[in-house]
Amino acid sequence: MAHMTNPLATVDQLYQRTSFSALPSDLQDAIFFTTQCLTQAAGILLRIPQSVTAQANVILARYWLVESPLAHEFSDTSAAALFLVAKLSAHPCPPRDVCNVYAYLLSPSSVLFKSGSSDKGGGVEDKDKGDPSSYYLSESAYASFRARILALEARILYSLSFDTHVALPHPLAITYLQALDFLDLPRAEIARRVVAYLNTALLSPQLLYLTHQPHALAVAAIYAAARDAGAKMPACAWWEVFDVDREELGFLVVGMRSLEGWVRAQREGEDGVLSAKANGMVTRAYVEGEMRKRGLRIGNGSAGDEMEDEEMALMRQMDEKASQLEG
């Protein structure tokens, strides 16, 4: 049993991601980050333990290497991943609870993704905040939301060939910490930072959880946390004891520490995808609008294309090839 390891993304999959739907990478990163944040927020409101929500983050990330994010509304995909992973855990959530929580998080009442008190442009009137009618879900809206989630649940499973195994680095990191001794600092303080790094990495469009094994993530988080805290680390190449080489460690540490800067830039920059201008959860409509503005064609991966099955696509390709040759 491969309890401690994860399947990893192939080079092809990572490449394909860059080519999906001609989706510019800044938009793709924004979609990834905001959707993962949404999953986390929903996990908290649903009182799902972080260990379960974290698995949903990983499952969602894996799914988006198989099918374009544009194939479905991002928030639906988030809800389906969370619903599925919770169902398999010791903390299942009824579909109705999931729907209610997402309806709230996506409503104007939610403070998620709203930049503080500053209300430059498109913000919600204060009186709308906390107005329950803004996130009331009618019976028919509920039924269609549930239908979309259930269809996506099966879709996600199919795209991952039904493998829902996710090994998280968190317990490993705690075990490793026990073996290490950063003498001068209380272990709890380092542990807190380690867990924060690991949780933040879940949100990172760098997909670290898809490209590196849990033991490496654990060691990198410890390294980054210890350095932040100014802890004195063993002088030897201690990471090798945990089967991580310095090359991988260096890569991961840089990756883990870079997210914060990226988020800040996206939030504060004029054209940042997380700026107040974008306001609220990134949606498919927003992304498509952005793409039109930039004069980009919205390519494959939109819902309609799914109807064409692979066989037909193959036939069509062959037709094209043949006519090229003839012509």
**Does 14 engage in binding with other proteins (CB under 8 A)?**
yes
Contact 202, 35 (CB under 8 A): no
Instruction: Work out how close the CB of 18 gets to other proteins at its nearest, in angstroms, rounded to a whole number.
Output: 5
CA 29 – CA 25 distance, rounded (Å): 6
Instruction: Choose the stretch contacting other proteins; rule: CB under 8 A; options: 100-108, 118-126, 236-244, 291-299.
Output: 236-244
Instruction: Give the HSE-up count for residue 286: Cα atoms under 13 Å, Cβ half-sphere.
Output: 17
Q: Which of 246, 277, 292, 294 binds other proteins (CB under 8 A)?
A: 246
**Does 163 engage in binding with other proteins (CB under 8 A)?**
yes
**Does 11 engage in binding with other proteins (CB under 8 A)?**
yes
**Does 211 engage in binding with other proteins (CB under 8 A)?**
yes
Residues 294-313 that bind other proteins (CB under 8 A): 306-307, 309, 311-312
For residues 48 to 77, the per-residue mask of contacts with other proteins, x marking binding by CB under 8 A and - elsewhere, is --------------x--xx-----------
For residues 135 to 154, the per-residue mask of contacts with other proteins, x marking binding by CB under 8 A and - elsewhere, is -----------x--xxx-xx
Burial class (CB in 10 A: 0-12, 13-18, 19+), 285: exposed
Instruction: Choose the stretch contacting other proteins; rule: CB under 8 A; options: 88-96, 189-197, 274-282, 286-294.
Output: 88-96
CA 99 – CA 86 distance, rounded (Å): 14
CA 197 – CA 203 distance, rounded (Å): 10
DSSP 257-310: HHHHHHHHHHHHSTT-TTSTTT-SS--HHHHHHHHHHTT----TTSGGGGGS-H
**Does 88 engage in binding with other proteins (CB under 8 A)?**
yes
Q: Which of 43, 205, 272, 301 binds other proteins (CB under 8 A)?
A: 205
Q: Tell me, rounded to whole angstroms, the distance of Cα 19 from its chain centroid.
A: 18
Instruction: Work out how close the CB of 22 gets to other proteins at its nearest, in angstroms, rounded to a whole number.
Output: 14
For residues 247 to 286, the per-residue mask of contacts with other proteins, x marking binding by CB under 8 A and - elsewhere, is x-xxx-xxx-xxx-xx------------------------
**Does 5 engage in binding with other proteins (CB under 8 A)?**
yes
Instruction: Tell me how far CA of residue 111 lies from CA of 116, 196, 219, in angstroms.
Output: 8, 22, 34
CA 85 – CA 109 distance, rounded (Å): 27
CA 301 – CA 118 distance, rounded (Å): 36
**Does 290 engage in binding with other proteins (CB under 8 A)?**
no
**Does 245 engage in binding with other proteins (CB under 8 A)?**
yes
Identity of the residue, 130 or 250, whose beta carbon is nearer to other proteins in the bound complex: 250
Instruction: Work out how close the CB of 119 gets to other proteins at its nearest, in angstroms, rounded to a whole number.
Output: 29
Contact 142, 96 (CB under 8 A): yes
CA 210 – CA 29 distance, rounded (Å): 15
Identity of the residue, 141 or 315, whose beta carbon is nearer to other proteins in the bound complex: 315
Instruction: Work out how close the CB of 161 gets to other proteins at its nearest, in angstroms, rounded to a whole number.
Output: 5
Sign of the dihedral through C-alpha 128, 279, 281, 148: positive
Q: Which of 203, 207, 225, 291 binds other proteins (CB under 8 A)?
A: 207
